[in-house]
Structure 1
């Protein structure tokens, strides 16, 4: 650490990765995963320097570094894995996934393809791993992306505004009709889903 602090301007990415590897070895020897936070710091630093040296200014790349680090800490920290810190773990996962998804949403709305793909990945990760934060952020990002694209489409092609309005109206009428016919069944499904939701990470 002292060597890094004194020579940070002349260190290469390979040096940083070597230091990261050393602290990963220390974590394994000490059986203490928190030593890997230093490894994570040096790996992030190496990737960040690589992006700067390659003059890559893509905000999503930098957001992925920060968000991925938050998700890593939320996943492996021994204190956060306890049941009493479940809410803190949830908030940290919300923070990490939100940084990535919102960066994709704000900086890649030309076609909406990148935020759409990332939000779907988050949704499927949430469903597959039973993690609420991923599902919530992924769903919110996907809805925002779809809504934004519909607004852009309606301004660029005024006629499509009426088509979209007609389709949305039909969908809402269909949902309302089905809800009235199957109220008890739908409420039972929602209640069952809400009970399962409380047990998710």
Structure 2
């Protein structure tokens, strides 16, 4: 992005309002959005086969199948899980609001990412998660995307105007249908991820515990 004299002047003349808006976004609007996300997330992941977690301070949401851990592993995110996150290309210094409405200046998007914490050598995982792998291809064919080198994710985007209207109506959760639909989609495709995990367990060296 290049310097723009008119934009420089605009920001200078309105810096107080810009700072107040940013503070409100971080301290107030984020809390309202988190509450709405939590309501939909808790309802959509209320499934006997799942474990889910959310944390406001860390801006963290994740869920997994209960059996995606080994007997000797601590209860928690475990070996594999889906977490709500951003694409790496834009960094994490932009707001959740711009990421989830597809309006961030860097073009960063968001979605549910399939994460692993057990493969001993990361390079081996990168090679394993390839669209040449039939198990990975089946997941991509089901509507998921692959962010190179090895991040499988389901894109998630909310309509900016629908969310604005929902905030005006004091019911932001009414605009979060895409969140529920994404979780439902992941639950539907869990057998494909079971197959991918089984293949990983048989082909890759895993960490203990």
Higher RCO, Cα 8 Å, sep 6+? 2
| The structure with more radius of gyration | 1
* TM-score (normalised: structure 1): 0.25
The structure in which a higher percent of residues are helix is 1
